[in-house]
Amino acid sequence: MPLKHIQWITGFITVLLALPIVIGLVGTLLPAFHYFPPLGEYDFSLSPWYNVFSQGEFYAGLKLTLITGIGAPVLALWLALSLLAWGYQRPFFKKIEALLSPILAIPHAAIAIGLLFLLSPSGWIVRLFSPWLTGFERPPNWITVQDPYGISLIFALIIKEMPYLLFVMLAAMKSIQARESMQACQALGYSRFTLWRKVLIPQLYPIIRLPIFIVVAFSLTVVDLALVIGPNTPSTLAVTLFRWFNDPDLAMRYTASAGAIFLMITIVLTLGGWELAHKVFSAMTRCERSNGKRHGVSDILLGTGVILGAFTLLSAFIALILLPFWSLAKRWRFPDALPSQWTWDNIERAAPLLMELSANTLIIALFSTLIACAISLLMLEIKRHSMTNSANPSQQYAFDWLIYVPILLPQIGFLFGLHVLLIYLNLNGDLCAIIALHLMYVLPYVYLTLKGPYLAYNEDYLLQANRLNNRPWRHYVSVKIAMLKPALFTAFAMGFSVSIAQYLPTLIAGEGRYSTLTTEAVAQAASGDRKQVGSMALLQAFFPVMVFWLAQIIPSRWTEWRLTIKKRLKKALTKKDKTCSA
Amino acid sequence: MKKSFVAASIAATLVLSTSSMLAHSAQTNSTSEKWKNTLQKAKGQTVYFNAWGGADNINDYIQWAADRIKDDYNVTLKQVKLTDTSDAVNRVLAEKAAGKNTKGSIDLIWLNGENFRAMKDNHLLFGPFSQTLPSYTKYVDENARQSLTQDFGTPVDGMESPWGMAQVIFMHDTATLSNPPKSIPELLTYAKAHPGRITYPEPPQFLGSTFLKQALYELSPHRKALSQPVDSVDFDKITAPMWAYLDELHTVAWRSGESFPSSSEEMMRLLDDQEIDVALSFDISAASVQIDKGNLPDTVRSYVFTGGTIGNTHFLAIPYNSGVKAGAQVVANFLLSPEAQIKKQTPTVWGDLSVLSYTKLSKDEQAKFDALPRGIATLNIEELGKTLPEPHASWVGALEKKWRQRYAQ
């Protein structure tokens, strides 16, 4: 991208991003110190902090948060790497890749409800074997979900995070010379898992570090998933905060704000610890990596990961397949493995709202994702520019870490402060405000998905093209963007599905006046009615699944289509010319 | 002379009575004039009604009302579906924080209890308005129920308009359980005999908190203290029998008291899945509605405890910064009309109990109420028995806090 005024552009975008974040933060920070004019509190005090630290539930929730919030990403990373190492460049793996998108696209609450039905004592697995094998005429009194150790929550988090990591890794693989490394290593006699562990994973990890951080922050702060499938006595810290923020006793807001600040600090510390652990780990394994052994213990580790990963994916799919069944069920009682009575009523009931909801959802998702793509391209180009031109190639712009702040902060504490800003600006309840708020959440994912491939792009193609014929803008589009198509489409699909799944931002910016498929689905999820949730989740997943599918299909066929269209146009034009001249 | 005195006194009485009659009619004139004014102002306004959106039948009812209101009053009613009423409270608070004191985003809220107290105490409500609504003056008898004027012990003071009445009911499947436990102590006996089949929603979910209140009411010897603010009584002493009871119950409860359902809806699902034997609801027609939808077997029936169950009234309130207060009042008034209340009490529509006084209704309207069909599992007014009053609103927070301290760490 031939850019001028780089400093000015980065400055402007950074301010644009920083402003809402800062104001949102201040809106949480001030109540955390007991300053809150609408409730008539103008004096600073530390009492919210005393309150937080005197709640037993806070410590129990924190412990649970740390277990699930660190356990889930570690396991998800392990399983994703195992699956990648096992299947990369194998023909059938392409099919699994294509199947990832529905899991990525389905909103958390829906997948959690699906899992709940699969795994609970009255769930589908027990139904399948009851009563003929288990002898259960009625469900056993087991704690298979919402267990106090958070195991079911960790499982649900892995199901949501592993496909995301796998997706990001697959995109990032394009920017390391994987095939060459694999061929070289295999020629030297390294086993598949060993070469991945010694050569490819160390190259891959730095590229996907930020997605991992996002996954960690997500695990620590997730609310909707934890509400459905997480333990509730105690619940994770994020859920506890959510409850405090919603307490009818408005004075609890101070305690909640202090807790939200504490959760942010926890996130920062956890990420710091994670980074440190990685440094220590890679230092410890350095000599092991270069000892020349062609096989190792880690092969078993990766092998186990494959089995567990496959099992996880399988349960996710079964959970997802069961949801549509619910949307068609009238009676489906334990221990029936399939509904005993079927009906179209559930879908019919959802139908009238469909047009309006779909229109709102699509407008918001399309605009926010397109803007996010444009900003990401711009900022990445500036970054590439500075990497090649400046004396300090590793120089980081504020933008680089600033865009992650919104997704690293607990939504509820931060959005309330932002809402006040929207009201000041008289933008509340406005479609533009919803799009802007979605942009904050979409942008980091788009930027991240695009970052690896974009920065790894070999600029020589562009330079050659410009040497032949100096048309920088045209070549930027027709050479660079064209070559980055797969990454761009993937980034778009990712942003699109993130936008679709947003609940709180839509509600807060739109003040409930713009309903989307997600706000409707979450409102229905409040009913706990699996039939309604099943039908809504189906509709909600439809668009992202379509977009992901298109993102896989279009880039590989684009050139073919473009050329065909061009040829036909040309034919038509020459014909026209001929008729004209004749 | 005497005659003339009599005549004069008659004349004076006449004059006096006429003048008082005149004054009276002038007053009614001015109220009806005022209401006419409100109707006039409301024309063309759009009212954003923030209401819990978790039940299809309720959403459909609101849509029906919206269509009627549009036709009759040219007021547009739009429902904003909430998952939690406190979202709306938070939003009004955010608007106050930003100094948006006019044209707020919420025009009408469905609420009661703690949310009402929080909004009233923090001056987030418009009013008093409810006592001047024509439907209210005509059909509501404030003496009929304490909960019409005392919302969880907080004086209503006209700051919210009654909409419906709720009472705790229990549900059981007659195919598996023919003789359900009919009091809090019996519930424990049953749970001990059938471990893992009894539970209640997790406080602070409102039905969970209500279960605690029900247990407290039945177990505590100090019932009178419940109507007082919790600071003014010995909380630990009054609640001790209840905690002892819960300790015992949890050891034999569903999932050993390690986990609790999150709502009435989840309890009904668990009842259908046969994980539990007794489900609770605050909606007296819940069982019939769910049977109709296929979510419960048709052998499920409702019942109440022999000693009565907790009941309350739910309301509609207008935030202080609503830009369309006239429209909001027109909506509240319509929803309080016999037509809307009869429709609402229809079991296939919603089944929510009317707040109107039966004796104040016309013969025709009474007949319509009498003719309402009842769902297969809905109790009638006599069967619902005695309604126990809600404790003072301050008890909710104290009970929830203590409960989480004891069982959620």
Please tell me whether residues B120 and B229 are part of one structural domain.
no
From B192's Cα to the closest Cα of chain A, the distance in A is 14
SS3 A3: coil
Instruction: Note whether B273 contacts A: Cβ–Cβ < 8 A.
Output: yes
Please tell me whether residues B223 and B187 are part of one structural domain.
yes
Q: Does domain A1-44+345-581 have CATH number 1.10.3720.10?
A: yes
B383 belongs to a structural domain: no
Residue numbers in B near A530 (CB within 8 A): 269
| pLDDT tens-digit series, residues B238-256 | 999 999 999 999 999 999 9
Residue of B nearest to A149 (CA): B258
Please tell me whether residues B297 and B398 are part of one structural domain.
yes
Instruction: Note whether B78 contacts A: Cβ–Cβ < 8 A.
Output: yes
Half-sphere exposure of A541 (CA within 13 A, CB side): 22
Q: Are B333 and B162 in contact (CB under 8 A)?
A: no
| DSSP assignment letter at A526 | T
Cα A194 to Cα A190, A202, A445, B58: the distances in Å are: 6, 12, 31, 60
Please tell me whether residues B109 and B134 are part of one structural domain.
yes
Residues whose CB is less than 8 angstroms from the CB of residue B364 and which lie 6 or more positions away in sequence, other chains included = none
Instruction: Note whether B401 contacts A: Cβ–Cβ < 8 A.
Output: no
Task: Compute the count of residue pairs across chains A and B with CB atoms less than 8 Å apart.
Answer: 179
Nearest CB to B86 within list A36, A248, A523: A248
Cα B184 to Cα B142, B213, B219, B259, B271: the distances in Å are: 31, 11, 8, 20, 19
Domains A1-44+345-581 and A47-342 share a fold: yes
Torsion B269-A109-A163-A286 (CA) sign: negative
Q: Do A138 and B275 touch (CB under 8 A)?
A: yes
**What pLDDT, on a 0 to 100 scale, did the predictor assign at position A528?**
66
Q: Do A233 and B91 touch (CB under 8 A)?
A: no
Q: Does domain A47-342 have CATH number 1.20.140.10?
A: no
Residue numbers in B near A227 (CB within 8 A): 262
Q: Do A519 and B81 touch (CB under 8 A)?
A: yes
B382 belongs to a structural domain: no
Residue numbers in A near B202 (CB within 8 A): 232-233
Residue numbers in B near A526 (CB within 8 A): 52-54, 83-84, 263, 265
Q: What is the mean pLDDT of chain B?
A: 88
Instruction: Note whether B339 contacts A: Cβ–Cβ < 8 A.
Output: no
Q: Do B269 and A529 touch (CB under 8 A)?
A: yes
Count of beta carbons in the 10 Å neighbourhood of residue A393:
9
CATH of the domain at B284: 3.40.190.10
> pTM, whole model, 2 decimals?
0.84
Nearest CB to B294 within list A330, A520, A525: A330
Q: Do A232 and B82 touch (CB under 8 A)?
A: no
Interface of B with A in 348-377 (CB under 8 A): none
Q: Do A233 and B260 touch (CB under 8 A)?
A: yes
Residue of B nearest to A235 (CA): B408
Q: Do B270 and A122 touch (CB under 8 A)?
A: yes
Q: Do B105 and A429 touch (CB under 8 A)?
A: yes
Please tell me whether residues B305 and B176 are part of one structural domain.
yes
Residue numbers in B near A515 (CB within 8 A): 81
Q: Do A341 and B294 touch (CB under 8 A)?
A: yes
From B211's Cα to the closest Cα of chain A, the distance in A is 17
The radius of gyration computed from the CA coordinates of chain A, to the nearest angstrom, equals: 26
Q: Do A333 and B275 touch (CB under 8 A)?
A: no
Report how many domains make up chain B.
2
Residue numbers in A near B293 (CB within 8 A): 345, 529, 531
What's the CA gap between A359 and A364, in Å, rounded? 9
Interface of B with A in 209-228 (CB under 8 A): none
Q: Are B38 and B326 in contact (CB under 8 A)?
A: yes
From B25's Cα to the closest Cα of chain A, the distance in A is 43
Interface of B with A in 137-176 (CB under 8 A): 176
- Please identify which residue in the block is written with the tokens 């793996």: A93
Q: Do B273 and A528 touch (CB under 8 A)?
A: no
Residue numbers in B near A424 (CB within 8 A): 98-99
SS3 A539: helix
Please tell me whether residues B105 and B186 are part of one structural domain.
no
Please tell me whether residues B280 and B134 are part of one structural domain.
no
Q: Do A420 and B94 touch (CB under 8 A)?
A: yes
Q: Which amino acid is at B186?
A: E
Please tell me whether residues B197 and B65 are part of one structural domain.
no
Residue of A nearest to B86 (CA): A246
Please tell me whether residues B324 and B291 are part of one structural domain.
no
Instruction: Note whether B394 contacts A: Cβ–Cβ < 8 A.
Output: no
B401 belongs to a structural domain: yes
- Please identify which residue in the block is written with the tokens 């997948």: A111
Q: How many helices (H) and strands (E) does chain A have?
A: 28, 2
Half-sphere exposure of A214 (CA within 13 A, CB side): 26
Q: Do B258 and A143 touch (CB under 8 A)?
A: yes
Interface probe for A, chosen from B50, B57, B259 (most Cβ of A below 10 Å), is: B259
From A261's Cα to the closest Cα of chain B, the distance in A is 19
From B290's Cα to the closest Cα of chain A, the distance in A is 10
Residue numbers in B near A519 (CB within 8 A): 81
B5 belongs to a structural domain: no
- In order along its 582 residues, chain A shows pLDDT tens digits of 677 777 788 788 888 888 888 888 888 888 889 988 777 788 898 999 999 999 888 999 999 999 999 999 999 999 999 999 998 888 888 777 777 777 777 777 778 888 888 988 888 989 988 888 888 888 888 888 888 889 999 999 999 899 989 988 887 787 788 888 888 888 888 888 888 888 888 888 988 888 899 899 999 988 878 888 888 888 899 889 888 887 878 888 889 989 989 998 999 999 999 999 999 988 988 887 777 777 777 788 889 999 999 999 899 888 888 888 888 888 888 888 889 889 888 778 777 777 778 889 999 999 999 999 999 999 888 888 877 776 665 556 677 778 888 887 777 667 777 877 787 777 877 899 999 999 988 998 899 888 878 888 888 888 888 888 888 888 888 888 888 888 899 899 989 988 988 887 888 888 777 888 888 777 776 566 778 777 777 777 788 888 888 888 888 888 888 889 989 988 888 877 776 665
**What pLDDT, on a 0 to 100 scale, did the predictor assign at position B406?**
93
Please tell me whether residues B159 and B55 are part of one structural domain.
yes
Nearest CB to B56 within list A59, A349, A507: A349
- Domain span at residue B100 reads 38-163+313-374
Q: Do A423 and B263 touch (CB under 8 A)?
A: no
Inter-helix orientation angle A530-581/A345-389, to 10°: 60
Interface probe for B, chosen from A137, A250, A343 (most Cβ of B below 10 Å), is: A250
SS3 A331: strand
Stretches where chain B sits below pLDDT 70 are 1-29
In the 3-class helix/strand/coil scheme, how is chain B assigned residue by residue?
CHHHHHHHHHHHHHHHHHHHHHHHHHHHHHHHHHHHHHHHHHCCCEEEEEEECCCHHHHHHHHHHHHHHHHHHCCEEEEEEECCHHHHHHHHHHHHHCCCCCCECCCEEEECHHHHHHHHHCCCECCCCHHHCHHHHHHCCCCCCHHHCEECCEECCCCEEEEEEEECEEEEECCCCCCCCCCHHHHHHHHHHCCCCCCCCCCCCHHHHHHHHHHHHHHCCCHHHHHCCHHHCCHHHHHHHHHHHHHHHHHCCHHHHCCCCCCHHHHHHHHHCCCCCEEEECCCCHHHHHHHHCCCCCCEEEECCCCCEEEEEEEEECECCECCHHHHHHHHHHHCCHHHHHHHHCCCCCCCECCCCHHHCCHHHHHHHHCCCCCCCCCCHHHHCCEECCCCCHHHHHHHHHHHHHHCC
B324 belongs to a structural domain: yes
Core vs surface per residue A541-563: b (16+ CB within 10 A) or e? bebbbebbeebbeebeeeeeeee
B97 belongs to a structural domain: yes
Please tell me whether residues B326 and B214 are part of one structural domain.
no
Q: Are B108 and B331 in contact (CB under 8 A)?
A: yes
Please tell me whether residues B220 and B128 are part of one structural domain.
no
Paired tokens of A10: 């980065």
Helices of type H across A502-529: 504-510, 517-525
Instruction: Note whether B204 contacts A: Cβ–Cβ < 8 A.
Output: yes
Q: Do B56 and A532 touch (CB under 8 A)?
A: yes
Q: Where are the domains of chain A?
A: 1-44+345-581, 47-342
Core vs surface per residue A443-478: b (16+ CB within 10 A) or e? bbbbbbbbbbbbebbeeeebeebbeeeeeeeebbee
Q: Do A139 and B297 touch (CB under 8 A)?
A: no
B380 belongs to a structural domain: no
Q: Do B89 and A248 touch (CB under 8 A)?
A: yes
From A429's Cα to the closest Cα of chain B, the distance in A is 8
Residue of A nearest to B77 (CA): A513
From B90's Cα to the closest Cα of chain A, the distance in A is 8
Count of beta carbons in the 10 Å neighbourhood of residue A505:
25
Phi, psi (degrees; rounded to nearest 5) at A51: -60, -45
Nearest CB to A527 within list B54, B99, B197: B54
Residue numbers in A near B91 (CB within 8 A): 419, 508, 511
From B144's Cα to the closest Cα of chain A, the distance in A is 28
